[in-house]
Chain A
Amino acid sequence: MKNNNIKKLLEFERPLLELYQKLEELKEVSASGKMDMNEEIRMMEKRIRSLRRDIFSKLTPIQIVQVARHMQRPTTLDYISLIFEDFVELHGDRNFSDDPALITGIARLNGQAVVVLGHQKGKTTKENLARNFGMANPEGYRKALRVMRIAERYEKPIISLIDTPGAYPGIGAEERGQAEAIAKNLREMAELTVPFIAIITGEGGSGGALGIGMGNRVLILEFAIYSVISPEGCASILFRDAKRANAAAVAMKITAKDLLQLGIVDEIIKEPIGGAHNDPELAASFLKSAIIKHLKPLLSLSHRELIADRYNKYRKMGIYLEE
């Protein structure tokens, strides 16, 4: 458990390492029964919490990117099991294959029947290979659309969880129309007659994220990011040096706070101290209340109102000068 805590530490959390080691020592002494260290342990845990809160209140954009990509960050399947009941996964796009990088299904949220879908990353290298690191192929986007249509036919809201580095850039993906699959989803999502909530839970990677992300409401977790290109990609193209990802992350305004300010997201969902991976249950409970809160007003809207609401939301996006 303690070792696990240390293993999860990111580079900028190094100051915590020493405290964790001390905590471990205290616990050992305490466990050996020589001395009662309970008070000291409590104090040390308190110090860790407060230092962690301190560190996380001052993260730079590129550090937030690291949290968003943390290997132990809760995945879509984690959130599904923590938030939803009666989940039944649905597979396949009915054309070519089933995409394990994007999962879809039917479930209940607080008793309400919903469709839930999202990108699926792995937590180990083996899992990530099986899930293609959460990078969906055209089949994933087509499966998502198929299941959204089921939601529409049976008047169920759609909850979409976004966590992907981007749509997969591979030969097969191009052959089978990655661009077409995403473009079609955008057009069709705009016209869905059911409430649609999208939440960026980790990495919101460009078109691969937007391809399942045109919600009536778009929410974002505190340490998630949403970006038109990865900071590394932007750095290598515009700054001519992939190592300048830091500068690119700052310049592109990809953090939850920036996105709220730009009007891209409707609300930032708080994460537990130290990020969602430090307390997945608590993170899930914050996420659940936010979804329920935003879903409620949408449930009373008519088909027409839902479409208009969504159209107007995206119609307004863009900043330009007009003489």
Chain B
Amino acid sequence: MSIHDWFKRKKETKEAVYVRERLDIPGNLWVKCYKCGQAIFAKDLEATLKVCPKCNYHFKLTAGERLKQITDKKSFKEIDPHIKSKNFLNFTDSKSYTKRIEDAELKSSLSEAIITGTGKMGGAAAALGIMDFSFMGGSMGSVVGEKVTRLIELAVEKKIPVIIFSSSGGARMQEGIMSLMQMAKTSAALGRLRENGLPYISVMTDPTTGGTSASYAMLGDINIAEPGALVGFAGPRVIEQTIRQKLPPGFQRSEYLLEHGMLDMVCERKKLKGTLTRILKWFHEK
């Protein structure tokens, strides 16, 4: 790496922060693409389902935006909206976990990092879990684990398939070991779903790593990822620190995972609903 690269990287990071900040402010007319820097008219971005028209970069979606893009109008019925996180370890780093939860609620207007419920796609019913990265990095604590498990149990009861959209940095450290146990709980529930002959489709969006990828995100009968999504077990920084080498280009991106056999497909956002509907209908056929 030359000194010029170093400066370039730094500039990009600054830009990323800038874009993120801009995105969080409603009423902005222009948005700059995180990847290619293209200025996009905010309304246009909505029309392209938040995909950059120039470079195909898939912006992160909130759970609400995802629901709107994926489900048939008015078909979604939320379950378990009232389960909330508790600071049972009295965990405090630079902020207390209690404060972090409050901040996340304000920032995301959500009660947790996942919304669960039932909905329809092209008329086909499914149990849906949609994670939201803006709530504490989509981290999985007791609530995410419980909501996912209840969702799967509901699917078994109603005999419908499960679809989960993951967007998560992994387990929620503020809940210590209990967050790790959510991997066991959710994976065991998926085993039951399978025993009951019901399908599970996992959709991995940027990013899906750590405890989330090492549990329900990787266990789909069908694994789908959005283009360019970071998907992996360890984060790239941890790997770089461990092996003390630069990572190959495209490493841990969806296309790389497809090449290595971990995914059934990389699906563009505009084709996602159609693809999921087609798959659901195939499974529904008697």
Q: Which residues of A contact B (CB under 8 A)?
A: 167-171, 173-180, 182-184, 186-188, 190-191, 206-207, 210-211, 214, 226-229, 233-234, 237-240, 247-248, 251-254, 259, 262, 264, 310-311, 314-315, 317-323
> Across the interface, do A183 and B84 meet the contact criterion of CB distance under 8 Å?
no
Selected contact of B216 from candidates A178, A183, A188, A311, CB within 8 Å: A183
Instruction: State how many angstroms separate the Cβ of B284 from the closest Cβ of chain A.
Output: 23
Looking at B149, B188, B216, B261, the one whose CB has the most chain A CB atoms below 10 A away is B188
Interface residues of B in 117-157 (CB under 8 A from A): 141-143, 145-146, 149
Contact mask B148-187 → A, CB, 8 Å, 1/0? 0100000000000000000000010111111111111101
Interface residues of B in 223-250 (CB under 8 A from A): 231-234, 238-239, 242-243, 245, 247-248
22 A–B pairs (Cβ distance < 8 Å), ordered by A: A169-B242, A174-B239, A178-B232, A179-B213, A179-B218, A186-B184, A190-B184, A191-B195, A206-B171, A206-B180, A207-B210, A210-B184, A227-B176, A228-B211, A247-B93, A251-B92, A251-B93, A264-B178, A264-B181, A315-B185, A318-B142, A323-B84
Residues of A within 8 A of B260 (CB): 175-177
B71 close to chain A: CB less than 8 A: no
Instruction: State how many angstroms separate the Cβ of B112 from the closest Cβ of chain A.
Output: 9
Given contact pairs A174-B234, A206-B180, A210-B183, A229 touches B239 in the complex (Cβ within 8 A): no
Q: Which residues of B contact A (CB under 8 A)?
A: 82-86, 88-89, 91-94, 141-143, 145-146, 149, 171, 173-185, 187-192, 194-195, 209-211, 213-219, 231-234, 238-239, 242-243, 245, 247-248, 251-252, 260-262
Instruction: State how many angstroms separate the Cβ of B135 from the closest Cβ of chain A.
Output: 14
Selected contact of B86 from candidates A182, A238, A321, CB within 8 Å: A321
Given contact pairs A253-B176, A259-B177, A321-B86, A177 touches B187 in the complex (Cβ within 8 A): no
How many angstroms from the CA of A173 to the CA of B233 in the assembled complex? Answer: 9
Give 19 A-B pairs besides A228-B211, A314-B184, A319-B86 with Cβ atoms closer than 8 angstroms. Answer: A167-B234, A177-B218, A178-B232, A179-B233, A183-B214, A184-B218, A186-B187, A187-B188, A187-B190, A214-B184, A228-B171, A252-B89, A253-B89, A264-B177, A315-B185, A319-B175, A320-B143, A322-B84, A323-B82
> Across the interface, do B149 and A315 meet the contact criterion of CB distance under 8 Å?
yes
How many angstroms from the CA of A176 to the CA of B260 in the assembled complex? Answer: 7
Residues of B within 8 A of A184 (CB): 218-219
> Across the interface, do B242 and A188 meet the contact criterion of CB distance under 8 Å?
no
List the 8 closest pairs (A to B, CB-CB), nearest first.
Answer: A169-B234, A190-B188, A186-B187, A318-B142, A179-B213, A238-B93, A179-B233, A178-B233
Selected contact of A186 from candidates B146, B215, B247, B261, CB within 8 Å: B215
> Across the interface, do A177 and B262 meet the contact criterion of CB distance under 8 Å?
yes
Residues of B within 8 A of A206 (CB): 171, 180, 211
How many angstroms from the CA of A198 to the CA of B220 in the assembled complex? Answer: 27
Instruction: Identify the closest chain B residue to A176 (Cβ).
Output: B260
Residues of A within 8 A of B173 (CB): 228-229, 234, 237-238, 252
Instruction: Identify the closest chain A residue to B190 (Cβ).
Output: A187
Given contact pairs A171-B239, A176-B260, A319 touches B178 in the complex (Cβ within 8 A): yes
> Across the interface, do A170 and B178 meet the contact criterion of CB distance under 8 Å?
no
> Across the interface, do A179 and B217 meet the contact criterion of CB distance under 8 Å?
yes
> Across the interface, do A187 and B177 meet the contact criterion of CB distance under 8 Å?
no
Residues of A within 8 A of B262 (CB): 177, 180
How many angstroms from the CA of A188 to the CA of B215 in the assembled complex? Answer: 11
How many angstroms from the CA of A320 to the CA of B179 in the assembled complex? Answer: 11
> Across the interface, do A167 and B233 meet the contact criterion of CB distance under 8 Å?
yes
Instruction: State how many angstroms separate the Cβ of A194 from the closest Cβ of chain B.
Output: 15
Instruction: State how many angstroms separate the Cβ of A197 from the closest Cβ of chain B.
Output: 15
> Across the interface, do B192 and A311 meet the contact criterion of CB distance under 8 Å?
yes
Residues of B within 8 A of A183 (CB): 183, 187, 213-219
Residues of B within 8 A of A178 (CB): 214, 232-234
